[in-house]
Amino acid sequence: MKDIILLHGAIGSSEQLIPLANNLQDNFNVYRFSFSGHGNTPFKNDFSIQQFAKELKNFILENKLQQPSIFGYSMGGYVALYLATTENNILGNIVTLGTKFNWSKEIAEKEILQLNPKTISEKVPKFAEALKQMHGNAWEVLLKRTAEMMLSLGENNLLSDKLLSAIENKVLLGLADKDAMVSLDETTHVYKQLKNVNRFILPYAKHPIETIDAFLLAEIIKRAC
């Protein structure tokens, strides 16, 4: 069977991708891992897209995988595409869902307003508890470092049009129809830069991975990979 690696989003973990993995296991050798600082994986000194791309590359090499397909949710999709710009032959087909491509200083400053631990604890205590369950006592540190990473992307969006246009991999760009974080316009812009690309819209879904129909998404991935 073909190999596929499932990549989670920012402030998430590989555990969130278990329902999708279960729907893919009859068709693929499914792999999952959590980026450093997420889930039970310790922080590294560096906390960046570049570091996460390095971790993805190392995972592929350590498991002796040959051009595995990638499903990247949100930040996971950004990481996969970034790795594809630096390593021509290490990845196979790439499927993304809810990946934010349009970064500027203003956009980053707006997004990090949702990453204030004190505000989350006071206004959305259930979400704060879920983050603590997922990441342990380091969840507040994770939010802080994620905010710093977003600000860095706002200053330097790593996926420039020039780099995107050089990607040779087959790419399928996905977006939930009610995604309030990622726009159709920014996804379409990236679609127009890539050479070998298709796109899809998931109905009745929002940005959070928990709102996604895992069976439907799995069927799309099977056709793409």
Residue appearing with tokens 């959070």: 208
Q: pTM score > 0.85 for this model? A: yes
Residue appearing with tokens 């956009």: 107
Task: Give dist(CA 94, CA 4) in Å, integer.
Answer: 9
Task: Give dist(CA 119, CA 144) in Å, integer.
Answer: 13
Q: What is the pLDDT of residues 59-81, one digit of tens each?
A: 999 999 999 999 999 999 999 99
Task: Give dist(CA 151, CA 148) in Å, integer.
Answer: 5
Q: What is the pLDDT of residues 138-151, one digit of tens each?
A: 999 999 999 999 99
Q: What pLDDT, on the 0 to 100 scale, is given for residue 88?
A: 85
Q: β-strands 2-7, 28-32: how paired? A: parallel
Q: What pLDDT, on the 0 to 100 scale, is given for residue 54?
A: 98
Which domains does the chain carry?
2-102+157-224 (3.40.50.1820), 103-156 (no CATH)
For the chain, where are the E strands, in sequence order?
Answer: 2-7, 28-32, 69-73, 94-97, 171-176, 197-202
Region 119-144 average pLDDT: 93
- The three-state secondary structure class of 15 is helix
Longest dimension (CA), the chain: 47
Residue 30 to residues 7, 67, 169, 199, 212, Cα–Cα distance (Å): 11, 13, 20, 22, 19
In the predicted model, what is the mean pLDDT of the chain? Answer: 96
Where does the pLDDT of residue 4 fall: very low under 50, low under 70, confident under 90, or very high at 90 and above? very high
CA 125, 130, 132 angle in degrees (round to 5)? Answer: 95
Structure tokens at 24: 């893919």
Phi, psi of 170 (to 5 degrees): -70, 125
Task: Give dist(CA 178, CA 201) in Å, integer.
Answer: 10
Task: Give dist(CA 96, CA 68) in Å, integer.
Answer: 14
In the chain, what percentage of residues exceed pLDDT 70? Answer: 100
Residue 73's nearest CA partner among 7, 24, 165 is 7
Task: Give dist(CA 183, CA 176) in Å, integer.
Answer: 10
Q: What is the pLDDT of residues 45-56, one digit of tens each?
A: 999 999 999 999
